[in-house]
Amino acid sequence: MENLKELFEQQIQDLYSAEDQLVEALPKMVMNASDEKLKRAFENHLDETKQHKMRLKEICDQLEINPNGETCKAMKGLIKEAENFLNEVKDDDVKQAGMIAEAQRVEHYEISGYGTAARYAKELGYDDIAKKLQSTLHEEYNADDVLTNLAENRLNKKAS
**Side chain identity at 41, as an amino acid letter?**
A
Q: Which stretch binds Fe ion (CB under 5 A): 47-55, 65-73, 117-125, 127-135?
A: 47-55
Going by C-alpha positions, the residue among 63, 72, 49, 52 that lies closest to residue 120 is: 63
CB closer to Fe ion, 53 vs 63: 53
Q: Does 52 bind Fe ion (CB under 5 A)?
A: yes
Of residues 92-111, those binding Fe ion (CB under 5 A): 110
Closest contact distance (angstroms) between CB of 143 and Fe ion is 5
Residue nearest to Fe ion (CB): 52
Q: Shortest Cβ distance from residue 41 to Fe ion (Å)? A: 11
Sign of CA dihedral 70, 134, 129, 127: negative
* CB proximity list for 99: less than 8 A, separation 6 or greater: 29, 32, 33, 38, 82, 85, 86
For residue 144, state whether it binds Fe ion (rule: CB under 5 A): no
Q: Which helix (H) or strand (E) holds 142?
A: helix 127-159
> Which residues of this protein are in contact with Fe ion, per CB under 5 A?
49, 52, 110, 140
